[in-house]
């Protein structure tokens, strides 16, 4: 493999898309000593730009650990903190998630899961706390904390990564035209760029990719609001009661998020806004102002696992997608796994390998 900075020759990995997937993967390749080139069109749909960036290692419905949380959380800290040092900025903030209990049954379930000799879930604080003021009118009677949760400032991470990548390699800000890609056994050529391999990280726009549009995705549109309030007392921790209120600083709070599977676009809707405001107003009765309303599409897969690996026919075509609702947690671990698998020529985990969908491949596709 070559170790070029600005790509004056053959690039190791050309990456299409610089959302969370493309960003984390590009940095992981660079750390492993590979050269990369990026093609990303800033005006196209990107859920990373509007993601709340929360990581939560707990599934609230059953109070179980979320899938692979024990492995994903350490890798998350390692990855973002090491790039914070390189880029000399802050990307992540560890925060508790405040889980409110409205019923006795919920409280007992939490205690059962978090206490005892060998608690089922060590991300759950084993105590119940009382009387937390959320604003002047709302006192949270019973609550507890999820530990080792937090948030990534996703838009800041994308921006800083873009600048860093521009200093290291070619970054083309244009729409990738799949028809222009030329494939040969040992390289790919796109306009003036020649690479050994290409990785597609296009989020839900995978649907427009003729090489991978057979992957069974189940994208979910989501909406969030940002509000300004001088009355909400949350400073750092994230409030959760079937929706979240996340403090952003300077009296700003992110409220989210909705799920919708039928209309898949980035257009904020009145229904989405009403749904979020209804939930917010059930807690906050003090005045606030809506600052912004955003929408995006989560690239989820039918089995809700990432989808990564090598194309069944073309050995220099790769996919890194399917980060769904949990890009912040999943991307560092699985980018490393994809890079390690390429380095050591071993398959990625069965659960995430795109090969699990090989029967969906039309066979006649490009
Ligand atoms: C409302 C909402 C809230 C969310 N909150 C969280 C959260 O709190 N925590 C969390 O972990 N996740 C969250 N997510 C999910 C998260 O945003 C996604 O999993 C993640 O952003 C997916 O990243 P991606 O890089 O795969 O796709 P995207 O972010 O969509 O990026 C794809 C990139 O590829 C580019 N692209 C695509 N096609 C082309 C082409 N042909 N040519 C050039 N460029 C192209 C696009 O411009 C874009 O930059 C949320 C999502 C939504 C919608």
Same domain, yes or no: 223 and 355: no
- Residue 249: CA count within 13 A, CB half-sphere: 2
Longest dimension (CA), the chain: 67
Ligand 1 touching residue 322 (CB < 6 A): no
90 in any annotated domain: no
Same domain, yes or no: 249 and 235: yes
pLDDT tens string 164-216: 999 999 999 999 999 999 999 999 999 999 999 999 999 999 999 999 999 99
pLDDT beneath 70: ranges in the chain: 1-8, 116-119, 364-366
Same domain, yes or no: 356 and 238: no
38 in any annotated domain: yes
Residue of 17, 22, 49, 272 to test ligand 1 pocket, by largest number of atoms within 8 Å of CB? 17
Same domain, yes or no: 111 and 223: yes
Alpha-carbon dihedral angle through residues 258, 234, 74, 32, given to the nearest 10 degrees: 70
The protein residue with its alpha carbon nearest to ligand 1, atom 26, reads 203
Distance (angstroms) between ligand 1 centre and the Cα of 19 equals 5
Ligand 1 touching residue 20 (CB < 6 A): yes
Q: What's residue 96's pLDDT?
A: 98
- The CA-atom distances, in angstroms, between 132 and each of 136, 139, 227, 281 are 11, 5, 21, 17
Q: What's residue 1's pLDDT?
A: 44
Residue of 15, 51, 150 to test ligand 1 pocket, by largest number of atoms within 8 Å of CB? 51
Distance (angstroms) between ligand 1 centre and the Cα of 185 equals 31
293 in any annotated domain: yes
Same domain, yes or no: 146 and 261: yes
Same domain, yes or no: 223 and 210: no
Same domain, yes or no: 141 and 262: yes
The protein residue with its alpha carbon nearest to ligand 1, atom 4, reads 51
Ligand 1 touching residue 19 (CB < 6 A): yes
Same domain, yes or no: 228 and 203: no
Instruction: Please state, in angstroms and rounded to a whole number, the distance separating the CA atoms of residues 111 and 119.
Output: 9
The protein residue with its alpha carbon nearest to ligand 1, atom 20, reads 48
What's the CATH number where 262 sits? Answer: 3.30.9.10
Q: Which residues contact 143 (CB under 8 A, 6 or more apart)?
A: 98, 99, 100, 101, 128, 129, 130, 132
Ligand 1 touching residue 150 (CB < 6 A): no
Locate all alpha helices (DSSP H) within 150-224, ordered by sequence. Answer: 154-168
Last residue of a domain, one of 279, 298, 317: 298
73 in any annotated domain: no
Last residue of a domain, one of 271, 298, 325: 298
Ligand 1 touching residue 310 (CB < 6 A): no
Same domain, yes or no: 140 and 230: yes
Same domain, yes or no: 293 and 225: yes
Instruction: At 139, list the tokens.
Output: 């006192």
Distance (angstroms) between ligand 1 centre and the Cα of 325 equals 10
Atom of ligand 1 nearest to the CA of 174: 43
Alpha-carbon dihedral angle through residues 294, 296, 302, 306, given to the nearest 10 degrees: -110
Q: What's residue 119's pLDDT?
A: 65
Ligand 1 touching residue 177 (CB < 6 A): no
The protein residue with its alpha carbon nearest to ligand 1, atom 24, reads 203
Ligand 1 touching residue 66 (CB < 6 A): no
Q: What's residue 2's pLDDT?
A: 42
Distance (angstroms) between ligand 1 centre and the Cα of 289 equals 27
Ligand 1 touching residue 202 (CB < 6 A): yes
Provide the number of structural domains found in the chain.
Answer: 2
The parent domain of residue 169 ranges over: 11-50+155-216+303-360
Distance (angstroms) between ligand 1 centre and the Cα of 296 equals 8
Instruction: Please state, in angstroms and rounded to a whole number, the distance separating the CA atoms of residues 217 and 205.
Output: 10
What's the CATH number where 20 sits? Answer: 3.50.50.60
The protein residue with its alpha carbon nearest to ligand 1, atom 27, reads 203
Task: Tell me: cis bond preceding 170? Omega within 30 of 0 counts.
Answer: no
81 in any annotated domain: no
Q: What is the pTM of this model?
A: 0.96
Same domain, yes or no: 111 and 163: no
The answer to whether the CB of 322 falls within 8 A of the CB of 305 is yes
59 in any annotated domain: no
Last residue of a domain, one of 298, 318, 341: 298
The answer to whether the CB of 136 falls within 8 A of the CB of 31 is no
Same domain, yes or no: 21 and 128: no
Distance (angstroms) between ligand 1 centre and the Cα of 138 equals 34
84 in any annotated domain: no
Atom of ligand 1 nearest to the CA of 258: 1
pLDDT tens string 119-140: 678 899 999 999 999 999 999 9
Instruction: Please state, in angstroms and rounded to a whole number, the distance separating the CA atoms of residues 295 and 259.
Output: 10
307 in any annotated domain: yes
């Amino acid at each position: 493999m070559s170790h070029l900075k600005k790509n004056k020759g053959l690039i190791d990995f050309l990456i299409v898309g610089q959302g969370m997937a493309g960003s984390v993967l590009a940095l992981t390749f660079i750390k492993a000593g590979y050269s990369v080139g990026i093609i990303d069109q800033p005006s196209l749909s990107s859920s990373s730009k509007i993601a709340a960036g929360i990581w939560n290692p707990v599934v609230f419905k059953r109070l179980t650990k979320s899938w692979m949380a024990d492995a994903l959380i350490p890798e998350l800290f390692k990855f973002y903190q090491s790039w914070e040092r390189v880029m000399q900025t802050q990307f992540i903030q560890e925060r508790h998630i405040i889980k409110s209990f409205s019923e006795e049954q919920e409280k007992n379930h939490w205690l059962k899961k978090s206490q005892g000799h060998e608690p089922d879930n060590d991300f759950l604080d084993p105590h119940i706390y009382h009387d937390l003021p959320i604003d002047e009118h709302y006192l949270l009677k019973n609550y507890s904390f999820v530990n080792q949760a937090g948030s990534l400032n996703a838009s800041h991470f994308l921006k800083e990564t873009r600048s860093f990548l521009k200093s290291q390699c070619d970054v083309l800000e244009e729409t990738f035209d799949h028809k222009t890609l030329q494939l040969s056994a040992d390289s790919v050529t796109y306009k003036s760029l020649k690479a050994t391999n290409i990785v597609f990280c296009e989020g839900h726009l995978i649907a427009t990719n003729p090489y991978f549009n057979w992957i069974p995705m189940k994208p979910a549109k989501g909406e969030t609001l940002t509000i300004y309030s001088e009355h909400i007392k949350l400073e750092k921790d994230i409030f959760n009661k079937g929706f979240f209120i996340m403090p952003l600083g300077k009296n700003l709070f992110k409220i989210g998020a909705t799920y919708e599977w039928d209309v898949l676009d980035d257009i904020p809707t009145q229904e989405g806004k009403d749904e979020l405001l209804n939930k917010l107003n059930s807690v906050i009765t003090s005045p606030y102002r809506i600052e912004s309303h955003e929408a995006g599409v989560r690239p989820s897969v039918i089995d809700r696992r990432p989808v990564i690996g090598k194309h069944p026919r073309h050995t220099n075509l790769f996919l890194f997608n399917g980060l769904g609702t949990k890009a912040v947690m999943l991307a560092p671990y699985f980018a490393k796994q994809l890079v390690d698998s390429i380095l050591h020529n071993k398959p990625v985990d069965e659960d995430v390998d795109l090969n699990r969908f090989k029967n969906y491949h039309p066979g006649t596709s490009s």
